[in-house]
Structure 1
């Protein structure tokens, strides 16, 4: 690894909790391999401290980009001067970077990462029926990306009925007639994706009723630790192909790396 100096560029990953994230090691190594003098540092920011902590981090001149994980994806978007069209539609980001003209630009690669991870494994979503558990930042982005990728219909469920209703309303505006409310029954779905917290802890309830899974279904989870989650273990017992959170993360890696370093390289030339 290149020695750290005062010239090393800093990129941050913020979330709460933060111990489960794998991106800091992966992306820091990729930066070194590409000859970019930078690293990605994880930071545990409590939800109630986001609005006070984030502006301080954004004001540091040697911070080029900030990646964002649960539960800050909606809150961090409010601190950006500009959003990509998909991030603006969702109101949520998972990456933000400094603009040369000032302020910060936010984008959202969660859904793109999941879709790419599935596609790379031979599970393209075009023409498929997709079930998504979770209507938070990850679930919202995955739902949008699944429909953009050609999923013919999508069911969505979240115990937070207000959050669920808001996402369904957004999807209806952009993809009329293709998304509906789900109830946990995944019978007849080709692809089932858990985009919720369910699975962080061993005793968490399953996010869906696995008895409805068909053997030819694909089941994916956004959680990176533990791997596999109990959902994926149960899916494998039923003959399903599975993809865990590390596969989604792998799908995002190049997207995030390019996002973080492209602008940074121009800023430091």
Structure 2
């Protein structure tokens, strides 16, 4: 990637988290800015847990900072610094992006789950009116659940081995989307979309998050994992005849949404 010309006019965007060395978004999004003839750059900052209260207000006070992207472990705490939140961010109580609005206020949103739904919709598959089953009620699962319901899924059933996380997400979603959420330990026979929102699949020895016996060829199977590909779950789903989406499709969708959010496009 050619080095961009940086001047005092360059608009600055930050990505904060801990750890930070693994993130790829700064290079990808800076290049997109340059391709769009926008004079800006995304800079990674390593901010340790416990230091957000001193670091984030300083970044927000800088007039040439237009947006701040947030990764672990700051997604929940960063939401409290926003003046306004999107509806899905309100439900989750967590954000992964905030930007300065024209009136000077800071607006927060969460695109973790929206990236996965964007990847499904881009492939020509519908979510509105469909029944979704999901394994995982952590950060990724919570965001995906909200995004599926926002996109018009008629019902979302899910489960998580961590009963506390499962109950917390059920309470959030059933309050925001009454009558459209339930807990299920297996894939309903009439499910249209099946999602693995857990880390099961990072290792070859991981158990399948969803048994292949529960899948049908009419289903869309999605996984949040980006490496290795295909995951054992998606390989089994493909053999069954399912249409599949992997974590790279989710990442591509999220990068595009973040780009539009940061540049207000």
The superposition leaves residues 52-106 of structure 1 with CA deviations (integer Å, 9 ceiling, x where unpaired) of: 5434443444432112234432222122222122211221112111244445220
- Cα gap change, 1:187 to 1:19, in 2 (>3 Å): farther
- Cα gap change, 1:44 to 1:194, in 2 (>3 Å): farther
Indicate if the aligned counterparts of 2:84 and 2:106 stay in contact, CA closer than 8 A: yes
1:63 equivalent in alignment to 2:78: no
Distance in 2 separating the partners of 1:94 and 1:133: 22
Secondary structure of the residue that 2:264 maps to in structure 1?
helix
Trace 1:188-227 onto structure 2 (pairs within 5 A): 188=189, 189-227=191-229
> In the TM superposition, what is the alpha-carbon distance from 1:228 to its structure 2 partner?
3.2
Distance in 1 separating the partners of 2:54 and 2:228: 31
Indicate if the aligned counterparts of 2:88 and 2:147 stay in contact, CA closer than 8 A: no
The answer for the alignment partner of 2:83 in structure 1 is 81
Distance in 2 separating the partners of 1:119 and 1:29: 25
Secondary structure of the residue that 1:196 maps to in structure 2?
coil
Structure 2-normalised TM-score?
Answer: 0.84
Aligned partner (choices 19, 28, 31) of residue 30 of structure 2 = 28
Distance in 1 separating the partners of 2:64 and 2:227: 30
**CA root-mean-square deviation:** 2.7
> In the TM superposition, what is the alpha-carbon distance from 1:154 to its structure 2 partner?
1.1
Number of matched residues?
Answer: 262
Of residues 53-62 and 7-16 in structure 1, the stretch that sits farther from structure 2 once superposed is 53-62
The answer for the alignment partner of 1:186 in structure 2 is 187
Unmatched runs of 5 consecutive residues or more in structure 2: none
Indicate if the aligned counterparts of 1:186 and 1:210 stay in contact, CA closer than 8 A: no
Unmatched runs of 5 consecutive residues or more in structure 1: 264-269
The answer for the alignment partner of 2:174 in structure 1 is 172
- Cα gap change, 1:244 to 1:70, in 2 (>3 Å): farther
1:105 equivalent in alignment to 2:140: no
Distance in 2 separating the partners of 1:256 and 1:8: 19
Indicate if the aligned counterparts of 2:194 and 2:220 stay in contact, CA closer than 8 A: yes
The answer for the alignment partner of 1:150 in structure 2 is 152
1:260 equivalent in alignment to 2:243: no
The answer for the alignment partner of 1:41 in structure 2 is 43
Aligned partner (choices 158, 162, 165) of residue 163 of structure 1 = 165
The answer for the alignment partner of 1:131 in structure 2 is 133
The superposition leaves residues 161-200 of structure 1 with CA deviations (integer Å, 9 ceiling, x where unpaired) of: 22221221222222222211132x2252221122233344
Secondary structure of the residue that 1:64 maps to in structure 2?
strand
Secondary structure of the residue that 1:117 maps to in structure 2?
helix
> In the TM superposition, what is the alpha-carbon distance from 1:157 to its structure 2 partner?
1.7
